[in-house]
Amino acid sequence: MGARPRLPEIQDKSKHALRGDYGRARADYTVFQDVTAYADEEQLRWRQLHARQSALLPGRACREFVDSLASLDCARGIPALARQGERLSRLTGWRLVAVPGLIPDDAFFAHLAARRFPVTVWLRRADELDYIVEPDIFHDFFGHVPMLAVPAVAEFVAAFGQACLRARGEAVRQRLARLYWYTIEFGLVREGDGVRAYGAGLLSSPAELRHAVESPQALHVPFDPMRMMESEFRIDGFQARYYVVDSLEELFTQTRRVLAAAC
Ligand code: HBI
Ligand code: FE
């Protein structure tokens, strides 16, 4: 067990008391996920969240997400991260690591650079079904993990982590964080004659998935990495604009140069 992680680093970043139990975290902020420790009502809540969100996916989630989610077969209960990570690693070399919640940027980027996706171990409360301030296991697993099975997305997220580790100074890291936000969290992709979500923040949120894909108020703008890196994003509320990439392959090819240059 390495040195105890320093909680204040993360505490400063988030404006609210952090939910997770960081006391047992290792130096890299990973923890043991005890899959037997989840209460029956948490398993039921997972099934409710999974069923409700899955019903919203047709016509709104990209087909890569829908196919990948189905193959994860996680509708019946809270997923065992180690086992799910073994399957994922065979597809794109990614594994899953359990974390207590938000972890400091350095630790987060180091995991991404090494193709380890940090997944929070706790599940939101019954009174947080529609909105959660901090990513929980439903956001992290249901929203992010299926897309990590898509090679172009898997390459992009790993390249993003490596670029962040190389980045010198807060300004560059902030620009990269915006790129992550407008793609991996809130990105849209062209599909047929419409757009579909590939961002985890959309794919795990009932309200914003419908808003981003269907609302006349949702502003869809062409994919523009430089513009994304200059645009502040909203933490609590719908995004002012959603960037639409022509294909998921473009996500990696169009940002590779930007990521290579950002250091
Ligand atoms: N920690 N567990 C966790 N999950 C995140 O998504 C996360 C994080 N720490 C930092 C962070 N995200 C941001 O810096 C990135 O979204 C850019
Ligand atoms: Fe996320």
Tokens matching residue 3: 């040195």
Distance 247 CA to ligand 1 centre (A): 25
Residue 117 three-state SS? strand
Distance 139 CA to ligand 2 centre (A): 6
- Structural domain contains residue 3: no
- Structural domain contains residue 43: yes
Residue nearest to atom 16 of ligand 1 (CA): 177
- Structural domain contains residue 38: yes
2 has pLDDT over 50: no
- Structural domain contains residue 2: no
Domain containing 256 equals 8-261
- Structural domain contains residue 55: yes
Ligand approaching nearest to the C-alpha of 170: 1
CB distance 203 to 253 below 8 Å: no
CATH number where 93 lies:
1.10.800.10
- Structural domain contains residue 61: yes
Ligand approaching nearest to the C-alpha of 22: 1
| Residue among 22, 33, 108, 137 whose CB has most ligand 1 atoms within 8 A, to mutate | 108
Q: If pLDDT is split at 50, 70 and 90, which confidence band does 98 have?
A: very high
Q: Which atom of ligand 1 is nearest to the CA of 176?
A: 17
Question: What's the CA gap between 5 and 75, in Å, rounded?
Answer: 33
Question: What's the CA gap between 160 and 114, in Å, rounded?
Answer: 11
Burial class (CB in 10 A: 0-12, 13-18, 19+), 224: middle
Q: Is the CB of 108 under 6 A from ligand 1?
A: yes
Question: What's the CA gap between 79 and 209, in Å, rounded?
Answer: 23
Condensed to tens digits (0 to 9), the pLDDT of residues 182-236 reads 999 999 999 999 999 999 999 999 999 999 999 999 999 999 999 999 999 988 8
Q: What is the pLDDT of residue 132?
A: 86
33's CB contacts (< 8 A; 6+ apart) are 80, 81, 82, 98, 121
The count of domains in the chain is 1
Q: Is the CB of 98 under 6 A from ligand 1?
A: no
CB distance 65 to 201 below 8 Å: no
Does the pTM surpass 0.85? The reply is yes
Question: What's the CA gap between 115 and 155, in Å, rounded?
Answer: 9
Condensed to tens digits (0 to 9), the pLDDT of residues 51-82 reads 999 999 999 999 999 999 999 999 999 999 99
Distance 119 CA to ligand 2 centre (A): 9
| Mean pLDDT, residues 40-48 taken together | 98
